Amino acid sequence: MSQLPRYESYKDSGVQWLGEIPSHWKCLSIKRLTLVKRGASPRPIDNPEYFDDEGEYAWVRIADVTASDKYLLETTQRLSELGNSLSVKMQPDSIFLSIAGSVGKPIITKVKACIHDGFVYFPDWKESINFLYYIFASGQPYLGLGKLGTQLNLNTDTVGNIKIALPPSDEQEAIADFLDKRLAQVDSLITKQATLLEKLAEQRVALISHAVTKGLNPDVEMKESGIEILGNIPQQWKIKRLKFLLSEKLKYGANESAESEDKENPRYIRITDIDDSGNLKDETFKSLEFEKAEEYLLDDLDILLARSGATVGKSYLYKAESIGIACYAGYLIRARLDQENYNPEFVNYFLQSKQYWDWISSINIQATIQNVSAEKYNDLTLAIPPLEEQKQLIEYLKNEDEKFNSAIGKGKKLVHLLNEYRSTLITQVVTGKIDVRNLKLN
């Protein structure tokens, strides 16, 4: 960005997030340009009288804004005439800002909509709404508005007191137009990369799924497994339920709160500590005192299984050498395998297969709450090859995993860099560090 043109002269804004701004720009508080008002909600909000599928005004929830990009095009609910009379009506091409949930996220509505008190709006704004959108989208005006380590707290006063750099109207439109076009290019690259990452993840699952149910020899004699999700399996493989692979019964974790960060104590593993790659996150480290952890200490290559909620079915293979002493929380179930006959790494690969996730889905379809108990996990059916073949499959899958992880890692890094560039570009442009008036985009 250092090669992009700058304005001829600058002045100190006196505002940390703005820094120096072009000499002909103004530095003003938002409240000097418009009132900042809060939305309103009909109460109680679950009263069906307030809703009508054919209503004139869409009802905006935080989730609708979170799921949208720059523009709000639709919502999942509409208000009745009574409902919209008790809320705040927004006309198409109005801007409002979330102050709850996705705090600080701006949106421009393209439909008639009503907003509740989790949003603020700007009834007297006469400048470019697209320019104001990008000011908020930069995220920078909120710096210093929240206490360190706490969630950002916005209200009509804090938003009104935000100081912004305001160029002349024609420049506001030029800036918004430039960002619309340039960010469309960046977002297209991000989307393509995200699609590639999805395909790589799908290919990885397909490879694992085939290996842990069919083996590596395409010419091996097959037999019917008698289990629908497994299909035909190699002749020498055996069908086993999980409970017959264990050296000890499945065991639920400790029902203790995660408060301590003392690294002298055993790490307290919760399902939220495990990332999508099956690794523990450093930033979520918690520990548990030895006397509370003792009954729940993990042995090398124990497997943890999530038993409820959005992460139900997720698994984690504990490796003592890399993690150190650890115990586990109550929403997890420990599976300790008979390692003389069954390799935990093979079982862990099966827990990443399509067949396993189909089984999890079939369990959840039968229940109103997503939950897989130890009793249900006991009945999980696997196709088990001889021990030596298990080792060969593990070696093969580890080698393939290295290739996938390398490609996925590069893809994620590129997405991160593109998002970083995107945020920096918005900030640089709305604070006047780049003069886009005469820039031509390819």
> Residue ranges of the chain with pLDDT lower than 50?
147-150
How big is the chain by its Cα radius of gyration, in Å?
28
pLDDT at 352: 95
pLDDT at 369: 64
Residue with tokens 């029902």: 255
pLDDT at 148: 40
Q: What structural domains and CATH numbers belong to the chain? A: 1-10+167-215+387-437 (1.10.287), 26-164 (3.90.220.20), 216-384 (3.90.220.20)
pLDDT at 258: 86
User: Are 336 and 299 contacting, i.e. CB atoms less than 8 angstroms apart?
Assistant: yes
Q: In terms of residues, how long is the chain?
A: 442
User: Are 16 and 144 contacting, i.e. CB atoms less than 8 angstroms apart?
Assistant: yes
pLDDT tens digits, residue range 200-243?
A: 999 999 999 999 999 999 999 999 999 999 999 999 999 999 99
Strand, helix or coil for residue 90 = strand
CA 116 to chain centre: 25
Instruction: Give me the amino acid identity at 22.
Output: P
The Cα 439–Cα 429 span in angstroms is 12
The structure's pTM equals: 0.82
pLDDT tens digits, residue range 179-189?
A: 999 999 999 99
Strand, helix or coil for residue 20 = strand
User: Are 333 and 248 contacting, i.e. CB atoms less than 8 angstroms apart?
Assistant: no
pLDDT at 310: 80
Q: Where are the beta strands (DSSP E) in 351-424?
A: 381-384
The Cα 82–Cα 423 span in angstroms is 41
